[in-house]
Amino acid sequence: MKFKLVMYKTSWVMLIVFIVLATVDFYSTLLIGDFVQYLEANFLYMLGVGFPVIILLNIFVLWYFLFLYSNKKNVTKQFYTLSMFMYFSLLRIVVIYNNFRVVKAINDGSLTVAIAQEVTMAAKISYVINMEITFLLLPVFISIVTYHIFKWEHTIESK
């Protein structure tokens, strides 16, 4: 199996969007400061992996998206990859938004360490599962079904 990465216009857009969102995500997480240890819902962070490993994993995820998309022989795979990338990006935007809401709450004094310490592991897991179902799994399912119904009457080819 070849691991050839070919960059198309869409690949470049994916690369830029991923880098921008990842940077803003990490920046907004760092703004939370010491509260992150009580509020972070990322499973890897909760397992004690730390930010360097999460950054490396993000680089791998980016490469994987670009690698899958570079297979121009399989338009269906390209569509699935682009769809997953878009849902992943949407989820990241929601996370960034929530991070800035937390920063605002910290700055206006409505969120204290005592309140943050009351957030349970079960609440964090429930939040992550709801986010994944709402912003990843449900839209992916809808896209896959829609795409295959569309293919019944249309020929889809690569340029």
pLDDT in tens, 8-63: 888 888 899 999 999 999 999 889 888 877 777 776 776 667 778 888 989 999 98
What percentage of the chain reaches a pLDDT higher than 70?
91
In terms of phi and psi (left: phi > 0; alpha: psi -120 to 50; beta: otherwise), the region of 38 is alpha
In a domain, 142, yes or no: yes
Q: Which contacts of 18-24 are long-range, i.e. CB under 8 A and separated by 24 or more positions?
A: 18/58, 18/62, 18/65, 18/85, 18/89, 19/62, 21/89, 21/92, 21/93, 21/96, 22/58, 22/62, 22/92, 24/96
Q: Look up the domain containing 93 and give its range.
A: 9-151
In a domain, 143, yes or no: yes
In a domain, 156, yes or no: no
Domain count, the chain: 1
Look up the pTM and report it: 0.79
**Amino acid letter, 127:** Y
